[in-house]
Amino acid sequence: MIAAMAGEEVEERSGDEIRATEKPLYEELIDEVEPFDGARDFLVDLKRRDHRVVLASSAKETELDHYLDLLDARDLADAWTSSADVEATKPDPDLVHAALDKVGGGEAVMVGDTPFDVEAAARAGVETICVLTGGFAESELREARAAAVYESLETLRGSLDETLLR
């Protein structure tokens, strides 16, 4: 991630130091994290449509537990992943493969918000629907080959019948 965001030179020079600094800083801020508007309702909508739901995260297990509780999603998700399930994170496809493995494979659609999500899913043979919540422009997500891009989860929820998630 550091190389993708700051370049190979920064990764080589300071990557280990940045990663070591990240954990305590993130732990200080984790209680400030809030779910996106409509996030839990989106999961409910998917379950009502008989979709299997896997929350494909590369977060550390303790962070993931916090997010699952915050979203009250343990009863909605069929499975979830953490960094412990993969050797390499997005844009490598390991996370998508791990998510699929957790539910026995089959057809899938990724919902993400970064070009890394789109690339990882594509490498695993999965289409991605994106929302503009990850700080990337619509043009960047489309350039990465997102199947569709929505302004928010609420907008996506209102358009589910027009998507790969119908």
> How confident is the model over 89-137, as pLDDT tens digits?
888 999 999 999 999 999 999 999 999 999 999 999 999 999 999 999 9
Q: Is the pLDDT of residue 15 over 90?
A: no
What burial class does residue 49 get, using C-beta atoms within 10 Å of its C-beta: 0-12 exposed, 13-18 middle, 19+ buried? Answer: exposed
Residue pLDDT, tens place only, 61-84:
989 999 999 999 999 999 999 999
Residue with tokens 């019948």: 161
Residue with tokens 């550390």: 60
Domain layout of the chain by residue ranges: 1-32, 35-162
Token pair in block for residue 136: 């990337």
- Listed in sequence order, the residues at least 6 apart from 95 whose beta carbon sits closer than 8 Å to its beta carbon are 56, 57, 58, 81, 85, 86, 89, 120
Architecture field, domain 35-162? 3-Layer(aba) Sandwich (3.40)
Instruction: Report pTM.
Output: 0.86
* Cα separation, 81 vs 79, whole angstroms: 7
Token pair in block for residue 86: 């993969």
Mean pLDDT score of the chain, rounded to an integer?
93
